[in-house]
Amino acid sequence: MKALEGVRILDMTHVQSGPTCTQLLAWFGADVIKIERPGVGDITRGQLRDIPDVDSLYFTMLNHNKRSVTLNPKTEHGTKIFTKLIEECDVMVENFGPGAIDRMGFPWEKIQEINPRMIYASIKGFGPGPYDDCKVYENVAQCTGGAASTTGFLEGVPTVTGAQIGDSGTGLHLALGIVTALYQREQSGKGQRVECAMQDGIINLCRVKLRDQQRLAHGPLNEYSQHGEGIPFGDVTPRAGNDSGGGQPGTILKCKGWETDSNAFVYFIAQAAVWGNICDLIGKSEWKDDPEYATPAVRLNKMKDIFATIEEWTMTLDKFEVMQRCNPLNIPVGPILSMKEISEEPSLRDTGTIVEIEHPERGNYLSVGNPIKLSASPSDVMRSPLLGEHTDEILKSVVGLSGEEIAAAHESGAV
Ligand code: CAO
Residue whose CA is at the smallest distance from ligand 1 atom 30? 97
Q: In this prediction, what percent of the chain has a pLDDT beyond 70?
A: 100
Q: Note the pLDDT tens digit of each residue in 88-111.
A: 999 999 999 999 999 999 999 999
Residue 281 CB contacts under 8 Å (≥ 6 apart), including other chains: 313, 325, 326, 329, 331
Query: Does the beta carbon of 15 lie inside 6 Å of ligand 1?
Result: yes
DSSP-assigned beta bridge partners for residue 359 = 363
Name the active-site residue from 31, 55, 90, 167: 167
For residues 42 and 14, the answer to whether their CB atoms sit within 8 Å is: yes
Is the pLDDT confidence value at 244 over 90?
Answer: no
Q: Note the pLDDT tens digit of each residue in 35-80.
A: 999 999 999 999 999 999 999 999 999 999 999 999 999 999 999 9
Q: Name the band, by pLDDT with cuts 50, 70 and 90, for residue 245.
A: confident
In the residue annotation, 280 being an active-site residue is answered as: no
- Ligand 1 atom nearest the C-alpha of 78 is 1
DSSP-assigned beta bridge partners for residue 68 = 34
- Ligand 1 atom nearest the C-alpha of 16 is 48
**CA dist., res. 147 & res. 232, Å (int):** 22
Report the run of H or E that residue 195 belongs to, with start and end.
strand 193-197
Q: Name the band, by pLDDT with cuts 50, 70 and 90, for residue 349.
A: very high
Query: Does the beta carbon of 11 lie inside 6 Å of ligand 1?
Result: no
Query: Does the beta carbon of 95 lie inside 6 Å of ligand 1?
Result: yes
- Ligand 1 atom nearest the C-alpha of 13 is 44
**CA dist., res. 206 & res. 202, Å (int):** 6
**CA dist., res. 259 & res. 71, Å (int):** 54
The upper half-sphere exposure of residue 256, i.e. CA atoms within 13 Å in the direction of its Cβ, equals 9
DSSP-assigned beta bridge partners for residue 35 = 69
Q: Note the pLDDT tens digit of each residue in 398-408.
A: 999 999 999 99
| 257-267 mean pLDDT | 98
